[in-house]
Amino acid sequence: MEKFTTLTGVAAPLPLINIDTDMIIPKDYLKTIKRTGLGKGLFAEMRFNEDGSENPDFVLNKPAYRNASIIVAGDNFGCGSSREHAPWALLDYGIRCVISTSFADIFYNNCFNNGILPIRVSKEDLDKLFDDADRGANSRLTVDLEAQEIRGPDGGTVHFDIDPARKEKLLSGLDDIGLTLVKAPNIEAFEKTTEAVRPWA
């Protein structure tokens, strides 16, 4: 998993509430268990018209936001089913950070295991960030995980809270399996000691 330290990039505004996982990645794309290639299906029902052409009104199809790496979204982002394909699709598209006032718990947890930083902020701070994100090509934010700060294009700063253990996972680039493998020498030593003391076990 790629480390997350500091991210500077274009922030796309998505001021909708209750963006569920089916909106993030429609069910038609759930036939694969691969983490790659799902970016093409990200927000597919909003990004594309029925004939497959791009919807020019959708934010990620606008020239200024095509290379967005941050999404600023309304309340309750990632609600609905627990599909892990949702963070996979975001990451494959190039989104490394989602900022909202609230997230569905399962989606929130899945983000940390896939190298995406979900940030909870107050309604007042979200409004400021929407204002920053509405600036088109000038909508660049810097997300500093170590300092727990979001810095806007005009120098404004928003502080955010994060669980220390989750913060360390992202800074180290480790998911739950990676964290376990770091302790592999201790696990092997314990197993050898246990085998010697309790050979019948």
pLDDT single digits (tens) 2-35 = 999 999 999 999 999 999 999 999 998 888 777 7
Domain interval for residue 59: 6-197
Tokens describing residue 66: 């095509």
175 part of a folded domain: yes
187 part of a folded domain: yes
The one-letter amino acid code at 199 reads P
1 part of a folded domain: no
Of residues 138 and 104, the one with the higher pLDDT is 104
User: Which H or E run includes 177?
Assistant: helix 176-182
73 part of a folded domain: yes
67 part of a folded domain: yes
Indicate whether 181 pLDDT > 70: no
End-to-end CA distance of the chain: give it in Å, rounded.
36
Distance CA 38, CA 136 (A): 25
- The CATH number assigned to the domain holding 34 equals 3.20.19.10
Tally the domains of the chain. 1
Q: What is the pLDDT of residue 117?
A: 98
* Residue from 48, 58, 51 nearest 16 by CA: 58
Over residues 42-98, the pLDDT tens digits come to 999 999 999 999 999 999 999 999 999 999 999 999 999 888 999 999 999 999 999
61 part of a folded domain: yes
Strand partners, 14: 73
Taking each helix axis as running N to C, give the angle between helix 164-172 and helix 105-112, from 0 to 180 degrees, rounded to the nearest 10: 40
Distance CA 148, CA 125 (A): 14
Over residues 154-164, the pLDDT tens digits come to 989 999 999 99
